[in-house]
Structure 1
Amino acid sequence: MNRSVILISMFFLWSCHPEKKQESSTPKSASTKVGSETKDANKKTILFFGNSITAGYQLDLSEAFPALIQERLDSLGLDYLTVNAGLSGETTASGNSRVEWVMKNAMDIFVLELGANDGLRGISTEETKKNLEAIIEKVRKKYPDCKILLAGMMIPPNMGQEYSESFQKIYPDLAKKFNIPLIPFLLEGVAGVPELNLEDGIHPTPEGHQILAENVWSQLAPIL
């Protein structure tokens, strides 16, 4: 088993662990935590909905990739507010239940990053796909003009080659069905690189999140 597969495997073993409490004081450029945002009529909202990757496991909120996206937006003079709705341990099923709560405030762009914890549990790919479809449909129903960006994920073959291949197909299939942009693999360039992951060898360091931010930006920029 190569190093990349080992570290991706370890990611799934740790992705459900409780998130370390993040610092309450964050720089002005940090993305807003869901529930604490106040809508500025002059700003559009980008909501990042995901698990421990989006939440910035064991990092200050300002170091997670949604906050780095906010820094990029600010530097370009773009009037967007990023909201971090990441929750450590989130599955697609729990995300499907939670999404209605995070949609209570209007949003213009919805970045969906879920599925890794489903792979850990060996949940059927049909169920994972069904839950992601439901989330996308709920967002579109409530906010028809909201643009959706889907973050793809991969899992190691320890669940079986057939399962891992079926899992990987979920994301491009959904992107095609709903005609939405896709980040092929959110952890591209980070998974399998020890110095870009925390001591657990799984979750990205601040430097790793910088690469994640670039991966996201490559697909987010065209739809801003």
Structure 2
Amino acid sequence: MFLRVQIIFLTLLFIGCGQSKESKQKTGNDRKEEAAESVKSKGDKKVILFYGNSITAGYQLDMDQAFPALIQKRIDSLGLNYQTINAGLSGETSAGGKSRIDWVLRTVPDIFFLELGANDGLRGLPLEETYKNLQDIIDAVEKENPEVKIIIAGMMVPPNLGEDYTSEFKNLFPSLAKENDAIYIPFLLEGVAGNPELNLGDGIHPTPEGHKIVAETVWKYLKPLL
């Protein structure tokens, strides 16, 4: 039963990520402006840049409820000298992420969290293109900071796309992580996907409680880098 729910979740993820934002959802320009303001206030703090789609953006939630903001709260509580920046954008594909990375890199990160590719997979796009786009994003980041630490969040696609495609998609992320000596999170939505109590009414985007679980997952991999 859980597998069936998870398949439905993954199938609908692309649809939800492509929807227009409701009144509570920040626009891309809103998030850029807030990120810029965040950069101005960071002083000499090191930067953790979260780069992704609607999951990172915190679809239909206040920005302080999304997992990057929860990570910031944890960092602040421990007195660590880091500033998080949420550069998530709902509906983003790897190609879209590649096209805007230069703008985002006006602030050079010390830690770069990459959460892109799910929308490519759910559209059935050629995975070699997805891989190349993600690699180009990483290359752009490393060009600005050769010492940057990278975390890659793995995602999944439903089996109705074909066994070969599903398997290749799943393996894309660990391969990318290995190639770039990056930290790899096997499944960002572990413990959240398919659970109606942890997702919004659309059944595909985490609630504030769901984001708390995502934040805990991310923290396990991020903490050793701080």
Task: Report if TM-score (shorter chain) is over 0.5.
Answer: yes
- C-alpha distance in structure 2 between counterparts of 1:63 and 1:106, whole Å: 24
Q: Which has the higher helix share?
A: 2
- C-alpha distance in structure 2 between counterparts of 1:177 and 1:222, whole Å: 20
1:34 aligns with 2:38: no
- C-alpha distance in structure 2 between counterparts of 1:119 and 1:153, whole Å: 9
Query: What is the one-letter code of the residue matched to 2:110?
Result: D
Report what 1:125 is aligned to.
Answer: 127
Find the residue that maps to 1:168 and give its secondary structure: helix
Which TM-score applies when normalising by structure 2?
0.92
* Conserved 8 A contact 1:15-1:116: no
Query: What is the one-letter code of the residue matched to 2:34?
Result: K
Report what 1:77 is aligned to.
Answer: 79
Query: What is the one-letter code of the residue matched to 1:164?
Result: T
* Conserved 8 A contact 1:19-1:52: no
Unaligned runs of 5+ in 2: 27-32
Let me know the Cα RMSD of the aligned residues. 1.5
Report what 1:178 is aligned to.
Answer: 180
Find the residue that maps to 2:50 and give its secondary structure: strand
Report what 2:222 is aligned to.
Answer: 220
1:210 aligns with 2:200: no
Q: Deviation per CA, 1:138-187: give whole Å up to 9, x if none.
A: 10011111111111111111211111111011100011111110111101
**Displacement, 1:40?**
3.1
Report what 1:28 is aligned to.
Answer: none
Unaligned runs of 5+ in 1: 25-31
**Displacement, 1:133?**
0.6
- C-alpha distance in structure 2 between counterparts of 1:21 and 1:139, whole Å: 32
Structure 1 pair 44–6 and aligned structure 2 pair: CA distance change class (3 A): same
**Displacement, 1:21?**
4.1
- C-alpha distance in structure 2 between counterparts of 1:110 and 1:147, whole Å: 6
% identical aligned pairs: 56
1:7 aligns with 2:4: no
**Displacement, 1:54?**
0.4
**Displacement, 1:39?**
4.8
**Displacement, 1:8?**
1.9
Which TM-score applies when normalising by structure 1?
0.92
